[in-house]
Structure 1
Amino acid sequence: MKEEFIKGCLQNGFSQDKAEEVFGLIEKFADYGFNKSHSVAYSYVAYQLAYLKANYPLYFFASILSNELSSENTKVHCIQECKAYHLKILPPSVNHSHARFMVENGQIRYSLLAIKNVGYAGYKAIIEERQKGMFKDIYDFMMRMEHSHLSKKMLESLVDAGALDEFDMSRQTILKNLDAIRDYGHLKENLGIEEKPVLTIYKDNQEEKLMREKAVLGVYLSMHPLELKKQKINVAYVDVSRLDEYVQKTVNVVIQLQRVKNITDRKGQEMCFIEAMDETGSLDGVVFASRYKNIGMMLKKGNICLVQGKVDMKDKLSLIVDKARVIE
């Protein structure tokens, strides 16, 4: 279009230099700009989504989560948003979950297909069997699913996700006795043997349980590890989601470090920027050199820390870190 544009400019009385200058601006803008019809379409969709989120948040979030089954970042963000709207996400369940996240009694039920290692064939087998009647207990489930040949990996993922929690047996008890329970299902289905195996009972280690849950769901659903850590401290703290109420005030927060970026300031001293989160939201922070030399060794990715700092608001909310200690 350049030749045609410049020709039109000249015909309308503009100079060659001015025509080329203006076209240069248009060409540069084309790297990131888009036309009015595109803008209108985007804003129309944004308006519709905002309306649905404001008026039908349950169905809005259930739909967003269903459309992003494999995106861990989107699930984490949406579940944090759900908490801000006081909406509860129910755990996955072999008796109640579906392929999509579904609204159930004013809450959102987690999808079975959003569990790692649960494929469509396995999901369909569970749904078809469930239509004949709810699964009564872990033995009933294993017996009735015997013919479907669900893999051990899929069964372990269902356990770790909490999809069998309703059977009132700890996850570790099911995992440690999984072979015995599967053998019983096979024998009862094929030979009619009624005598259930004697199981060794195990207690769940809460931190391990949460880590295994996150591995198959992509999120901490039943509880965030930070909540366990918070039970071990006797200092008043503020949730990250409420920091906007404390601008220019000094607060304590309990956070898990997601990223630590070390840099050298103008004086040649080391400082760092941090990205962190708790179970309510995310936070950016800065540790200036005067403080970094005392607490820098504690600021490692993955560490859960009790941090004291001043809440700052310029372009966005941030924390100017003053003190920090790792919560063991």
Structure 2
Amino acid sequence: SLGEADILRRVMGKKKPDELAKNFVLFQKGARDKGYSDEAIQALWDVLVPFAGYAFNKAHSAAYGLVSYWTAYLKANHPAEYMAGLLTSVKDDKDKSAVYLNECRRMGIKVLPPNVNESVHNFAAQGDDVILFGLEAVRNVGTNVVESIIRSRKAKGKYASFPDYLDKVEAVACNKRTTESLIKAGAFDTLGHTRKGLTAHFEPMIDNVVAVKRKEAEGQFDLFGGMGEEENDEPGFGLDVVFTEDEWDKTYLLAQEREMLGLYVSDHPLFGLEHVLSDKADAGIAQLTGGEHADGAVVTIGGIISGLQRKMTKQGNAWAIATVEDLAGSIECMFFPATYQLVSTQLVEDAVVFVKGRLDKREDVPRLVAMELTVPDLSNAGTNAPVILTIPATRVTPPMVSRLGEILTHHRGDSEVRIRLQGPTKTTVLRLDRHRVKPDPALFGDLKVLLGPSCLAG
């Protein structure tokens, strides 16, 4: 019957072959009743079985094939525009955004923080190798504020300084919370002020400018007369501030940037430490969240603790949830009481750690149930640590080997280079005695462009 056929369709859609097998007897009986031979029934069933796995009808496959061709063409011929569109499509999913940011780095595309003089609502390409963050990606910045910033710069010209910005934008954009978020996200960096300097002075400046704009709106203020001296075109009314040139230290600056954008953008605390992570980590976080490991698998990840929640059970035992982030994603690590007692003093935000644990995929979002936590010694993370590259044997070609030699020669230093050559049945470790390199972000960027983002992931 049609009803029974629909039940069979639903079972196939669940992609569970064992459940489909249970329906064979009913299928066989119905087909026999309609006069089909056992051979014909079995032949048709053999066609249906793959659809409980990964199979689609031809129309579906053809449509996806065409979309795959379109996207491959765009990525190959218009990479910055394509990746900007891709980042915009996942702007509310920080884990996917991190994966695509890492892909941009692999492709040699720079992703820059938002910029009040250049950014629009969403991610946008600038030339062939630069993508700008959209202003709407900044926390506490709404669509009306973004529209005001764009409208004002189109009507009055680009902003020359922070005082000039406050002078030109409409009152809706002169909001303390919004402005602070833009500062911490780096949206004013190109105006020549440090983020620390702006943070120290922006609040009284906004108080002054809001008072002036309110009077303007009420018709009680002579705009040009209130702008300062007649011969001076610079904005006045309390905006003539001397900003300090001091800047926050890198760790704090990046933490604030991440809080506002949800991601590390201008830099990353793990840049330069890829070789340290590859020593002990046997899985990247994106592999865990992307379904490459089975539920219950025991893995070791390496990354930075970007969030930490300390909790208590009903019995009064302490435990914690730590968000660990690497260059391509993040995952929650559950430190239950027994483990927490052993590692509680090492659980500190912004610490670089290795976590060994069991993957738990029973919920919608995979998590790691921590078993061990170790903190690597970063004192020799610079020139003394070896650089370990993981390369599939199938990727080894004369042009690739030649280019690899050029990169290693260009980045000469004191660190050894080792290659983990992955074959179909075994992995061979090679030491390149003729090449020593300086492990830094420039080297790692060139290596990832040539070999892919996972070449340093162990």
TM-score (norm 1): 0.68
Residue 299 (structure 1) aligned with residue 354 (structure 2):
yes
Match of 2:239 among 167, 177, 196: 196
Question: Which residue does the alignment assign to 2:148?
Answer: 125
Match of 2:101 among 59, 79, 82: 79
How far apart are 1:66 and its partner, in Å? Answer: 2.0
Question: Which residue does the alignment assign to 1:60?
Answer: 82
- Per-residue Cα deviation, 1:164-191 (whole angstroms, up to 9, x for no partner): 1112111122122221221232355445
How many residues are matched? Answer: 278
Equivalent residues of 1:226, 1:304 under 8 A apart: no
Residue 115 (structure 1) aligned with residue 138 (structure 2):
yes
1:44 and 1:208 mapped to 2: Cα distance? 46
Match of 1:209 among 229, 233, 253: 253
Please tell me the residue identity of whatever aligns with 1:205.
Answer: D
1:274 and 1:188 mapped to 2: Cα distance? 58
Q: Residue 164 and residue 255 in structure 1: after superposition, are their counterparts in 2 closer, same or farther (change >3 A)? A: farther
1:53 and 1:317 mapped to 2: Cα distance? 33
Question: Which residue does the alignment assign to 1:142?
Answer: 166
How far apart are 1:147 and its partner, in Å? Answer: 2.0
Please tell me the residue identity of whatever aligns with 1:130.
Answer: R
Please tell me the residue identity of whatever aligns with 1:183.
Answer: D
Question: Which residue does the alignment assign to 2:11?
Answer: none
Please tell me the residue identity of whatever aligns with 2:91.
Answer: L
RMSD of the alignment, in Å?
4.3
Residue 221 (structure 1) aligned with residue 265 (structure 2):
yes
1:91 and 1:303 mapped to 2: Cα distance? 33
Correspondence list, 1:233-312, <5 A: 238=275, 273-276=299-302, 299-300=354-355, 305=376, 311=420
1:41 and 1:172 mapped to 2: Cα distance? 52
2:125 and 2:326 mapped to 1: Cα distance? 23
Identity of matched residues, % = 23
Runs of 4+ with deviation above 6 angstroms: 2-5, 253-257, 301-304, 307-310, 314-318
How far apart are 1:19 and its partner, in Å? Answer: 4.5
How far apart are 1:138 and its partner, in Å? Answer: 0.6
Secondary structure at the aligned position of 1:141 is classed as: helix
1:74 and 1:127 mapped to 2: Cα distance? 28
2:150 and 2:50 mapped to 1: Cα distance? 55
Equivalent residues of 1:95, 1:135 under 8 A apart: yes
How far apart are 1:238 and its partner, in Å? Answer: 4.1
Equivalent residues of 1:238, 1:252 under 8 A apart: yes
Question: Which residue does the alignment assign to 1:325?
Answer: none
Question: Which residue does the alignment assign to 2:68?
Answer: 46
Correspondence list, 1:160-175, <5 A: 160-175=184-199
Secondary structure at the aligned position of 1:299 is classed as: strand
* Contiguous gaps of at least 5 residues in structure 1: 231-236, 241-250, 262-270, 284-295, 321-328
Question: Which residue does the alignment assign to 2:393?
Answer: none
- Per-residue Cα deviation, 1:254-297 (whole angstroms, up to 9, x for no partner): 999969x9xxxxxxxxx9521336976589xxxxxxxxxxxx98
- Per-residue Cα deviation, 1:15-73 (whole angstroms, up to 9, x for no partner): 8xx95897599478447643222222222211221122122212211111122222212
